[in-house]
Chain A
Amino acid sequence: MRVALFVTCVNDTLYPRTGRAVVSLLERLGVEVAFPQAQSCCGQPHFNTGYRHETEPLVRRFDAAFREYEYVVTPSGSCAAMVRDNYPRIGAKAAAEGRGRALAEAAARSVPKTYELTEFLVDVLGVTDVGAYFPHTVTYHPTCHGLRVLGLRDRPRRLLEHVKGLELRELPGAEECCGFGGTFAVKNAAVSAAMGADKAGHIEGTGAEAVCTVDNSCLMHIGGTLARRGSGIRPVHLAEILAATEEEPYA
């Protein structure tokens, strides 16, 4: 099984711990992980802000970087959704504009092999108990693109429920957007902040020590909001919880 990690630009630059956690988790499960250095960004910030043509080189780059791999695993629901949902659209539009089928073919190669981490664990590896240990109270926020575009459903939850020592706290209004939304967070800062404040309030209400998601971009907004409110609740990516064990606990 040739598995490549698509770490994403946000994790690469700001949250390398999450990338390292994915590597250690997958290796613990017997998966050999490669990290193609040619990878960078899925293009989501550009595409979702309206710059489709600026996205195209990044679609080609993704395809080229991962071409020789059977599986591409990424610790981000929204980046996986970008590849699976939007790459085909970008390819189709380029073809409709009379610029050939190359982008559409790049998209067609990328879509079936791209998996969000919890999909890869549950659907491909067939595991829900990954032998993790995390002796803390945790609440889980299902991020929108994982929830609605990928349809992750209860996969993250099932993984969390098998973590030794972890106590899962229900998050009220869990399925409501946290207000991040990429450039939305700055273009419509007031509404984004109001949504973030409501989400933070709900998280605080659970009394959990940590809030976890499958997307560090949303977590950057949620965690940043919690920190400004003086809350001690820690934002943690799901991969870091699953990577923690009794021998090598989360630090």
Chain B
Amino acid sequence: MSGTYLGMPAFPKAAREAVHDQTLRGNLRHATRTIRDKRARAVAELEDWPALRAAGRAVKDRTLRHLDRYLVQLEEAVTAAGGIVHWAADADEANRIVTHLVKATGESEVVKVKSMATQEIGLNEALEAEGIRAYETDLAELIVQLGEDRPSHILVPAIHRNRGEIRDIFARTMGEWGRPAPDGLTDSPAELAEAARLHLREKFLRAKVGISGANFMVAETGTLVVVESEGNGRMCLTLPETLISVVGIEKVVPTWQDLEVFLQLLPRSSTAERMNPYTSTWTGTTDGDGPQTFHLVLLDNGRTDTLADEVGRQALRCIRCSACLNVCPVYERAGGHAYGSVYPGPIGAILSPQLRGTQTEIDASLPYASSLCGACYEVCPVAIDIPEVLVHLRERVVEGGEVTRRGVRVTLKPAKGHAAERAAMRAARWTLDHPGALRAGQRLAARTRRVHPQRLPGPGRAWSDTRALPEVPEESFRHWWQRTRGGAR
């Protein structure tokens, strides 16, 4: 049904292909730059943005430090309000719980609110394997699902598509899923939106089960919160008889007062709106109004292990706004698919290798998918120092070290394929730590400068294919200093 991330090549290989896809480059350049500029304007409107950002960071840090307490408080509040809480240690357990709950209703189809957590665990595929069809109702997720594609952006999963491509996908596939696209559909945004509206409306009215995630969960009242722009989420949250929400455990905030901070930070950072058009909140069940059965599946799936890492844990502050994707020069050129995860871009590069580990080729390559320019950190509304975590994870890849896996401290070996690099780094460090050797090396380079090649062979081609090599000077600085200043320091 939808594409898979299994067996993804390492980031550099996938990115190299994306860089040469001119349509993709054009789509991404246009979309990311538009959102980037709008976000900057929306944020500049608030004089107290730095204070708001600091508050967001502080609230998240405090909550994560006492996560055990707030989660239990949340469970009690949700239960008291008529909801049923389930705990899932990993993706498989979460999928089993949800599949079982849907089957218990006797239904074979569900409507879905846009949700990163359910994408993360591959819920749609798990449901399909059990004969249950999941309909994505977020416009962009719908485009991805109909196109048998993978999301490439957290907020705008179909950002890699332009409207011509979307028209073709609608015209070709809507009929297989339900109401076909109108004849003569053009690529005008209004017509495309109307086609999606008509197609989705019959799903909303028919569905007995809705599945969602949540942007926030308020511990003090057991309230879940979904913020969105389309209103399709609200349809799924209110019309079905049964609602199942799958939410990462890091989404809890202690109080409504804490929530206030994020309801200001999130819309401006993500869609550059002062306030998002739809904010849905629900607390358990209410007689005669909305779903009469509510299940909350609290998902760990690597989060507790991530929380155990002093540097890496800041990634759990993330509120999935996508500002870091939109500002990232690497994301803009490589596209979201190259990150091999539902979490692309800078945040994905620090989240995926923590949630999934660094064992696979793609996950070990993600910490290197950055020039460390720091633009992501600058825009992050909860001040996640993404470059710091990237470098921290690079160390985990090449040096190994202690990590927590499923609650147990284990010692990782350095990843394979870095032996030559490690030897070179060691040799370079030795030379740099022995100025005599450094001086000798500089002198040798200067003496042979006439015969230096213009282009390097082998791995050096990665530099010299597109960049001229610097010319080695006749004498190094330290030789010049010694020659002109003698032994003077």
Contact = CB atoms under 8 A, between A and B. Distances in A.
B433 A51 contact: no
Nearest to A220: B470
Among A20, A34, A38, A54, find the residue whose CB has the most chain B CB atoms closer than 10 A: A54
Interface stretch (A111-119, A122-130, A192-200): A192-200
Interface in B286-313: 310
Contacts of B66: none
A149 B385 CA distance: 11
A155 interface: no
Contacts of A35: 478, 481, 485, 489
B371 A192 contact: yes
Contacts of A89: 388
A35 B435 CA distance: 13
Nearest to B11: A188
Contact of A50 (B375, B394, B432, B465): B394
Interface stretch (A158-166, A205-213, A222-230, A242-250): A222-230
A177 B329 CA distance: 7
Contacts of B11: 188
A19 B479 CA distance: 12
B426 interface: yes
A12 B472 CA distance: 11
Contacts, number: 196
B468 interface: yes
A179 B371 contact: yes
B395 interface: yes
A53 B478 contact: no
A16 B482 CA distance: 13
Q: Which size class do A's interface residues fall under?
A: 35 or more
B49 interface: no
A167 to B, nearest CB: 26
B403 to A, nearest CB: 14
B399 A50 contact: yes
Interface string A166-182: 00000000011101111
A233 interface: no
Nearest to A55: B429
Given A50-B397, A180-B371, A20 B12 contact: no
Among B375, B442, B462, B470, find the residue whose CB has the most chain A CB atoms closer than 10 A: B470
Given A144-B372, A191-B330, A225 B466 contact: yes
A29 interface: no
A37 B435 CA distance: 8
Contacts of A181: 370-373
Q: Which size class do B's interface residues fall under?
A: 35 or more
B170 interface: no
B477 A50 contact: no
Contact of B473 (A17, A53, A54, A86): A17
B372 A54 contact: no
A148 interface: yes
Nearest to A145: B374
Contacts of B394: 48-50
B429 A191 contact: no
A86 B391 CA distance: 10
B477 to A, nearest CB: 4
B391 A149 contact: no
A191 B10 CA distance: 14
Interface string A123-162: 0000000000000000000001100110000000000000
B220 interface: no
Given A46-B428, A193-B465, A14 B371 contact: no
Contacts of B469: 224
B433 A40 contact: yes
B450 interface: no
B369 interface: yes
B368 A187 contact: yes
A224 B467 contact: yes
A17 B476 CA distance: 9
B107 interface: no
17 contacts: A16-B479, A50-B367, A50-B398, A51-B425, A144-B374, A177-B375, A182-B372, A183-B368, A185-B462, A187-B368, A189-B466, A191-B12, A191-B16, A191-B334, A194-B25, A196-B467, A223-B470
Given A51-B425, A58-B429, 16 more contacts: A12-B477, A12-B478, A35-B489, A40-B435, A45-B425, A51-B398, A148-B377, A179-B329, A185-B462, A187-B368, A188-B11, A188-B330, A188-B369, A189-B463, A192-B371, A194-B25
